[in-house]
A and B are shown apart, each in its own frame.
Chain A
Amino acid sequence: GEQVEQLPSILRVQEGSSASINCSYEDSASNYFPWYKQEPGENPKLIIDIRSNMERKQIQELIVLLDKKAKRFSLHITDTQPGDSAMYFCAAEGGTGSKLSFGKGAKLTVSP
């Protein structure tokens, strides 16, 4: 199946700064790239996604970039807050739909 690499696995930033998480995938047929946030003790929840017909998407402080040629996509959180501290998982959906392959996750800690 699809393989998704995610880096870094741990990142620590100061409140107000930016945080970036990078992912890469192998299958050029992948066409949908969601990001899930999992807060401590909670289940993962979708926070933003991007389809293969887009290069950039922004929802408030979240920006997702997609480079289909390089098979890379990334999440950028601007003006981080302590409430952004969580695990973040990237994922890729293959060409047949519904089945996601997840990265190993990135633990973000935002210090006041």
Chain B
Amino acid sequence: GGIITQTPKFLIGQEGQKLTLKCQQNFNHDTMYWYRQDSGKGLRLIYYSITENDLQKGDLSEGYDASREKKSSFSLTVTSAQKNEMAVFLCASSIWGFYAEQFFGPGTRLTVL
């Protein structure tokens, strides 16, 4: 078994601010993902990383940067927070390949004032 840790749990920012979310996993998984969850819109993929030093854009990458510092960690940066934005950002990890179960972290809830 393993665990995914996301920090911070709650993030409050100001409009225009650059905000960084962090994710750590101890599954020893190759692949890590960042999703955004909005009510009524499901889970939308922002960035994913197949292995250390790899970075792939998802469907929602505009306005975000990501960094895979090492195999166990994956960071997401909101480059310019939008006023009244509220969403939950979920990190996940899996082995690389077909039919791989994704394991999700507890999420970071973002509020922009």
A binds B: yes
Q: Which residues of A contact B (CB under 8 A)?
A: 1, 6, 9, 31-32, 34, 42-46, 49, 51, 89, 93, 97-105
The DSSP consensus for interface residues of chain B is loop
| B1-52 interface with A by 8 A CB criterion | 31, 35, 40-45, 48, 50
- Bound together, the chains give a CA A42 to CA B44 distance in angstroms of 17
- Bound together, the chains give a CA A99 to CA B58 distance in angstroms of 9
Contacting pair A43 B90 (CB below 8 A): yes
Chain B interface category by residue count: 20 to 34
Q: Which residues of B contact A (CB under 8 A)?
A: 31, 35, 40-45, 48, 50, 56, 58-59, 90, 94, 96-102, 104-107
- Bound together, the chains give a CA A34 to CA B99 distance in angstroms of 8
Closest approach, in angstroms, between the C-beta of B29 and any C-beta of chain A? 10
Which residue among A9, A34, A104 has the maximum number of chain B CB atoms within 10 Å of its CB? A104
- Bound together, the chains give a CA A61 to CA B2 distance in angstroms of 27
Residues of A within 8 A of B101 (CB): 34, 46, 49
- Bound together, the chains give a CA A80 to CA B42 distance in angstroms of 23
